[in-house]
A and B are shown apart, each in its own frame.
Chain A
Amino acid sequence: MNTTNLTIKPTMRIQAFYLFFIMNSIQTGSGIMGVPRYIFMEARQDAWISVLIAGLLVHLVMAAMFAIMNHYENTDVLGVQTDLFGKWIAKLLGTIYIIYFFFVLLSVTMDYIQVVQTFIFPRMSAWVLSLVLILLIVYAVMSGLRVAVGITFIFFFLSLWLLIFLYKSIAYMEITHFQPLLEASPSELLRGARHTSYSYLGIEILFFIYPFISNKEKAKLPAHLGLALTTFFILLVTVISIGYFSPGELPEQVWPVLVLFKIVEYSVIGRFDVLVVTEWMMVILPNMILLTWIITYITKRLYHVQQRKVLYVVAVLLLIGAGITKHEYFILQIIDTVAATGFWVAFVYPLVLLPLVWMKSKWKRRKRGGAKT
């Protein structure tokens, strides 16, 4: 904590181009299953404009994050905070990050369990499902960031094929659902954009993963592309959902994206939605693994606790948290809270941090200049 700059062993570094997959995987998780509904409730048939607005804003936030990180040689946000606010406030802020990430993780887990219980096993215990997920997470995080990134990379391709099967719902789309254009007021559009925040969460990972990147000069492009892909995914499912569902129908769907797959049927596979829900495990696992890794990493950085021990504690807490919740409204409440907090932590905080970093460096320079003269 004393030194701002981190030295990462060469074997632990990752190539910049994996940032594309990291950014995309951590954002595409449980949020995207339900996001069209929330945006639609605010911006109606112009929801897709909201998605574009949100995408642009998130790109700005990411640019701000890069600006902050580039100010330092090789550090993460914890180092930045120590540099700006001193040791104790930085520790407090870091702890907030830990708690925040834990709740994001919890909400993802609970949401997926909820989906499985609704679509496949209505009577299956949440304990079993969360145990299965947590064992996988523990097994993966045990080998550190390199393996976590590998999982992200491979699972990205293994779940990408799901997109192909949206073709059938595209065929069912009605153009009239998008008309009349530009009905929504700017404030409605912005509110719609804000509702995408849960799906864009995870961008903060850049703050922590940045020191691990070996070729930093090339980091910006893949990260922004990954973000653009997320925007594209959200845009795609939003557009298809608006076209596919009637305006009266969409606000009633809890997971409109999964329902889109309900009309896919083949002579070999009778039902596709079951497969999609199962396959979704590959979409959320990288998400959960990266989040868990961040939690263990921050704790190690802040409190010098062994990552392994933190991992066990997180696993047990997650198991208890996901196991005992049963009620849908409670889960929705947690997700809403996480989404609201995430909006401030992930998107507003970097924008606040950036001017502070600028001010500090200016002040430093003036001080140094003053000392010289």
Chain B
Amino acid sequence: MKKRGMRRSNSKELLPSSIENLKTKLQEAMHNNPDFQIRDFEIGGQRVLVFYISIIVKKQQLNDNILAPLLKGDKQWTTQKLINALPLGNNVAQTKLNEVVDALVQGSVGIYIEKESELITYPIPDQEKRSVDKSDKESTVLGPQDAFTESLTTNLNMIRWRMNTGDLVTEKLLIGERVPTEIRLVYLKNLANKEDVQTMRQRLQDLVVDRIEDATPLTYYIEDSSTSIFPQFYQTELPSRFSYSLSMGRVGVLVDKSPTGIIAPTSLFSFFESTEDVFMRWNVGSFIRILRFFALIISAMLTPAYVAALTFHYEVIPTPLLTTLGASRAAVPFPPVFEALLLELLIELLREAGARLPTKVGQTIGIVGGIVIGQAAVAAGLTSNILIIVVAISALASFTAPSYLIGSTIRVIRFPLIILSGFLGLIGIMASICFLIIHLLKVTSLGRPYLLPIYPFVGKDFSKTFYRLPYYFNLKRSFSYKPQDMIRYPKKKARKMKDIDD
């Protein structure tokens, strides 16, 4: 921000200047862009210059709200008169060339009246955007279905409507040295932890990059540890999730031209929470959430356990299973590690191919890969049929994670685990689990421990993280992130136990 400010102060003063002079300066600054239009009107003997980039301003607005009032009658215009006459708000008085250019490329129309000391710009940008749609990446069954789009205004609009309280702050920041992108820091002023807001603001302000591609790459610039495989900021497409997090006291970041909102701080466990859990009944929601944690463990551990048991620990396999396993393994020419890696790789290929291809073809690929190749691989004696089940279950389990990011993290973690279990058996698996836990203890998200509320231990938050309780137990917000206000709603009058037949 400071640097950009410095650049601005160097910029040349444009005005006052003659009309012709101004014209050439603007043309120069726009590098004779064919879309750049300068229209020179003569109204009541006074020359008025209207200039804009034709393809990014709303033609309708330009004609009805600027040109029509301007050209009506033969008045003598001054800047102040014009501001009063035009039915548009947010006019900006400009004197500097660079600022004018910045405004023009963002879809403003500039008006200069001869001999005035400043020109005014009106932003009437015409942004092409898709309409609000259902989310593909994070689909939910219950609850709101709308998703963020690429337009920041639309996204802010959705958030504003969900959180129509004066408390909502959307701080504007510009990031990008060469191509600045608008970024909004969103939080609830009287709720979000001030330290968190300050940290996030600081990190965004200190960031010096030429251009931000999207919200996701932005997180890689500002997250705590870039070597870690675990995502440290939550990314979501769902305005419902975004606003829910805000109301829990988190800090959100929206990036222009990106359909992804960033939420911080997050813990590992929040990646397994879905907004759906909130819409479900508490007991059903708890069940599903616990199921997801199991899915995580199964997904990461099942294939390595298979490899370890078959390579080293035959005595752990129960006898009835041992005979079936042995019979199906007998024809396979590879060691179990290799077999498992092969099949896991196959599943990953299928997933990747399915994701890249159009939906209909992707489905076909899934069926062809899953059934035909799987069957053929067993028939050809390349893998044992039990491994197919094992790999399928663990792949399925990895897709239960509500966040696509954590799902892919788990799938990648599996590979070193399989290799280690092939070398050291159960000891290898145990060592990798220990390593993962140590690693997770080291990771932080926005300076807060990643394993909250387990370590540091915050027992009160378990009902928000690992399971859910009826609403009358959830009077308070998550303690882990220290929001300014803990109370969600006051405790109702004591829920008296009624006697039978009372």
Q: Is there a direct interface between A and B, measured as CB atoms under 8 Å apart in the complex?
A: yes
Interface residues of B in 54-95 (CB under 8 A from A): none
- A49 CB to closest chain B CB (Å) equals 36
Name the segment of A148-156, A188-196, A298-306, A362-370 touching the other chain. Answer: A148-156
Instruction: Report Cα–Cα, A143/B440, bound state, in Å.
Output: 12
Q: Please state if B437 and A120 are interface contacts (CB–CB under 8 Å).
A: no
- B452 CB to closest chain A CB (Å) equals 11
If over half of B's interface residues share one DSSP class (helix, strand or loop), that class is named, otherwise mixed; here it is: helix
- B437 CB contact (under 8 Å) in A132, A155, A268, A269: A155
Instruction: Report Cα–Cα, A134/B435, bound state, in Å.
Output: 11
- B318 CB contact (under 8 Å) in A17, A155, A269, A274: A269
- B430 CB to closest chain A CB (Å) equals 5
**Residue A281 lies at the interface, judged by CB distance under 8 Å to chain B:** yes
Which chain A residues lie closer than 8 Å to B441 at the CB level? 143, 147, 150-151, 154
Chain A 1-43 interface mask (CB, 8 Å, partner B; 1/0): 0000000000000010100000000000000000000000000
Chain B 287-316 interface mask (CB, 8 Å, partner A; 1/0): 000000000000000000000000011011
**Residue B427 lies at the interface, judged by CB distance under 8 Å to chain A:** yes
Q: Please state if B316 and A281 are interface contacts (CB–CB under 8 Å).
A: no
- A285 CB to closest chain B CB (Å) equals 6
Instruction: Report the nearest B residue to A266, measured CB to CB.
Output: B318
Q: Please state if B315 and A271 are interface contacts (CB–CB under 8 Å).
A: yes
Which chain B residues lie closer than 8 Å to A139 at the CB level? 435, 438-439
- A298 CB to closest chain B CB (Å) equals 22
Which chain A residues lie closer than 8 Å to B437 at the CB level? 151, 154-155, 158
- A366 CB to closest chain B CB (Å) equals 45
- A146 CB to closest chain B CB (Å) equals 8
Q: Please state if A285 and B426 are interface contacts (CB–CB under 8 Å).
A: no
Instruction: Report Cα–Cα, A133/B322, bound state, in Å.
Output: 31
Q: Please state if A281 and B438 are interface contacts (CB–CB under 8 Å).
A: no
Instruction: Report the nearest B residue to A286, measured CB to CB.
Output: B434
Q: Please state if A132 and B431 are interface contacts (CB–CB under 8 Å).
A: yes
Chain B 420-460 interface mask (CB, 8 Å, partner A; 1/0): 00001111111100110111011000000101001111000
Instruction: Report Cα–Cα, A151/B425, bound state, in Å.
Output: 23
Instruction: Report Cα–Cα, A285/B432, bound state, in Å.
Output: 13
Which chain A residues lie closer than 8 Å to B313 at the CB level? 120, 271, 274
Q: Please state if B315 and A274 are interface contacts (CB–CB under 8 Å).
A: yes
Q: Please state if B312 and A153 are interface contacts (CB–CB under 8 Å).
A: no
Instruction: Report Cα–Cα, A140/B438, bound state, in Å.
Output: 6
Instruction: Report the nearest B residue to A14, measured CB to CB.
Output: B456
- A153 CB contact (under 8 Å) in B430, B431, B457: B457
Q: Please state if A281 and B318 are interface contacts (CB–CB under 8 Å).
A: no
- B438 CB contact (under 8 Å) in A136, A158, A271: A136
Q: Please state if B438 and A267 are interface contacts (CB–CB under 8 Å).
A: no
**Residue A279 lies at the interface, judged by CB distance under 8 Å to chain B:** yes
Q: Please state if B316 and A150 are interface contacts (CB–CB under 8 Å).
A: no
Q: A132-B431, A153-B457 are in contact. Are A274 and B438 (CB under 8 A)?
A: no
- A154 CB contact (under 8 Å) in B429, B430, B455: B455
Chain B 395-427 interface mask (CB, 8 Å, partner A; 1/0): 000000000000000000000000000001111
Q: Please state if A136 and B451 are interface contacts (CB–CB under 8 Å).
A: no
**Residue B359 lies at the interface, judged by CB distance under 8 Å to chain A:** no
Instruction: Report the nearest B residue to A143, measured CB to CB.
Output: B442
Instruction: Report Cα–Cα, A120/B316, bound state, in Å.
Output: 11
- B319 CB contact (under 8 Å) in A154, A158, A270, A285: A270
**Residue A72 lies at the interface, judged by CB distance under 8 Å to chain B:** no
Q: Please state if B315 and A278 are interface contacts (CB–CB under 8 Å).
A: no
Q: Please state if A150 and B430 are interface contacts (CB–CB under 8 Å).
A: no
- B431 CB contact (under 8 Å) in A15, A150, A267, A281: A281
**Residue A351 lies at the interface, judged by CB distance under 8 Å to chain B:** no
How many residues of chain B have a CB within 8 Å of chain A? Answer: 29
Q: Please state if B312 and A150 are interface contacts (CB–CB under 8 Å).
A: no
Q: Please state if B426 and A278 are interface contacts (CB–CB under 8 Å).
A: yes
**Residue B317 lies at the interface, judged by CB distance under 8 Å to chain A:** yes
Instruction: Report Cα–Cα, A116/B439, bound state, in Å.
Output: 25
Q: Please state if A270 and B315 are interface contacts (CB–CB under 8 Å).
A: yes
Q: Please state if B456 and A269 are interface contacts (CB–CB under 8 Å).
A: no
Q: Please state if A281 and B435 are interface contacts (CB–CB under 8 Å).
A: no
Instruction: Report the nearest B residue to A15, measured CB to CB.
Output: B456
Which chain B residues lie closer than 8 Å to A282 at the CB level? 430, 434
Interface residues of B in 88-140 (CB under 8 A from A): none
Which chain A residues lie closer than 8 Å to B438 at the CB level? 136, 139-140, 147, 151
- A61 CB to closest chain B CB (Å) equals 28
Interface residues of B in 135-177 (CB under 8 A from A): none
Which chain B residues lie closer than 8 Å to A155 at the CB level? 434, 437
Q: Please state if B425 and A121 are interface contacts (CB–CB under 8 Å).
A: yes
Instruction: Report Cα–Cα, A267/B318, bound state, in Å.
Output: 6
Instruction: Report Cα–Cα, A269/B309, bound state, in Å.
Output: 10
Q: Please state if B316 and A275 are interface contacts (CB–CB under 8 Å).
A: yes
- B454 CB contact (under 8 Å) in A120, A129, A154: A154
Q: Please state if A132 and B455 are interface contacts (CB–CB under 8 Å).
A: no
- The 6 closest A-B CB pairs, nearest first, are A150-B455, A150-B441, A278-B426, A270-B318, A278-B430, A140-B438
Residues on A close to B: CB < 8 A? Answer: 15, 17, 116, 120-121, 128-129, 132-133, 136, 139-140, 143, 147, 150-151, 153-155, 158, 266-271, 274-275, 278-279, 281-282, 285
Given contacts A116-B427, A139-B435, A153-B457, 20 further A-B contacts (CB under 8 A): A132-B424, A132-B431, A136-B431, A136-B435, A139-B438, A139-B439, A140-B438, A143-B441, A143-B442, A153-B454, A154-B437, A154-B441, A154-B451, A275-B316, A278-B426, A278-B429, A279-B430, A281-B430, A281-B434, A285-B434
20 A-B pairs within 8 Å (CB atoms) are namely A116-B427, A120-B312, A120-B427, A139-B435, A150-B441, A150-B449, A150-B451, A151-B437, A153-B457, A154-B455, A155-B434, A158-B437, A269-B316, A270-B319, A270-B322, A274-B315, A275-B426, A279-B430, A281-B430, A282-B434
